[in-house]
Amino acid sequence: MSFFAALGDRIDRIDSVVSVGLDPDPARLPDSVRDADLPRFAFNRRIIDATHEYAAAYKPNAAFYEDPDGWRALRETIAYAHGKDVPVLLDAKRGDIGNTARQYADLLEHADGITVNPYLGGDSLQPFLSKAEKGVFVLCRTSNPGGADLQDRELTDGRTVYERVADLAAGWNEHGNVGLVVGATAPDELESLRDRVPELPFLVPGVGAQGGDIEAAATAGLADGVGLVNSSRGIIFAGEDGPNWERAAGVAAKRLRDELNAYRG
Ligand SMILES: O=C(O)c1cc(=O)[nH]c(=O)n1[C@@H]1O[C@H](COP(=O)(O)O)[C@@H](O)[C@H]1O
């Protein structure tokens, strides 16, 4: 089954579009997991136990795993999430010349989808796009303050760079496996992109710790009901190092689901 068909099924089954970001910052891990063989996996496993009934997907960001133990923790995390029947989107933001991109695309062996960077153009993304059953989310209008520096620039044809990316991504969607990454901190752009590429599901990060717009995320993020709204720190560190940190994560995931559902209608 294709990534978006499976994601749509999961969204319908649990009535949630929440993506739980698994970004286990080592400096913030609770004491109770620090002595585990793989502390990041021990943490993620307990977060997954506490949140899976609200999680349409998990999104581990590769930055938190790029060392030998980290890769082991990531693989265990993905397998554990799959054991709970939750798809996993690897937030890797990759993009490179074809020969290198083919190696990066092997990252998709274990995950169900990936985030990619369009800066090197269409050929650099082919190794990802050609994996028809995997989801490929193209960075379009990012949530960080500097996202505007390049992405909002106007091109000679009057389009902004992020609009051009959206148009290109729509053209790359030969297998129906392409989505866009659009931050909730840019609600106007989010809404105009929904009108521009109505068929593309969005991954919308930036709610929670970055203070993004939940209403815009819930209304503009979805294409025919399919899309994801991600919170990482706002869920996984909701209880910080308190004794009930897992419970706090579960409560935060449920709260985000309910807030989004109030606007999903
Ligand atoms: O691709 C992403 O997921 C992403 C794109 C973007 O524009 N902004 C953004 O915050 N992200 C990621 O989404 C997550 C947000 O984390 P929190 O701010 O803790 O919710 C991090 O893993 C970011 O790298």
Question: 115: which 2 tokens?
Answer: 């985030």
Q: Which architecture does CATH list for 3-264? A: Alpha-Beta Barrel (3.20)
Q: Per-residue confidence at 25, pLDDT binned at 50, 70, 90? A: very high
Q: What is the pLDDT of residues 77-102, one digit of tens each?
A: 999 999 999 999 999 999 999 999 99
Distance separating the N- and C-terminal Cα atoms of the chain: 27
Instruction: State which H helix or E strand residue 265 sits in.
Output: none
Query: Is 24's C-beta closer than 6 angstroms to any atom of ligand 1?
Result: no
Measured in Å, residue 209 CA sits from the centre of ligand 1 at: 10
Query: Is 112's C-beta closer than 6 angstroms to any atom of ligand 1?
Result: no
Q: In angstroms, what CA-CA distances link 62 with 20, 71, 91?
A: 14, 9, 6
Measured in Å, residue 156 CA sits from the centre of ligand 1 at: 30
Q: What phi and psi values does residue 170 have, to the nearest 5 degrees?
A: -60, -35
**Domain coordinates in residue numbering, the chain:** 3-264
For ligand 1, mutation pick of 137, 232, 237, 260 (most atoms within 8 Å of CB): 232
93 catalytic? Reply is yes
Measured in Å, residue 4 CA sits from the centre of ligand 1 at: 20
In 3D space, the residue among 92, 167, 197, 98 whose CA is nearest the CA of residue 136 turns out to be 92
Q: Per-residue confidence at 265, pLDDT binned at 50, 70, 90? A: low
pLDDT above 80: residue 27: yes
Angle, CA of 95, 100 and 102, to the nearest 5°: 85
Angle, CA of 112, 117 and 118, to the nearest 5°: 115
* pLDDT for 109: 93
Query: Is 179's C-beta closer than 6 angstroms to any atom of ligand 1?
Result: no
* pLDDT for 241: 72
Q: What phi and psi values does residue 182 have, to the nearest 5 degrees?
A: -135, 125
Query: pTM above 0.80?
Result: yes
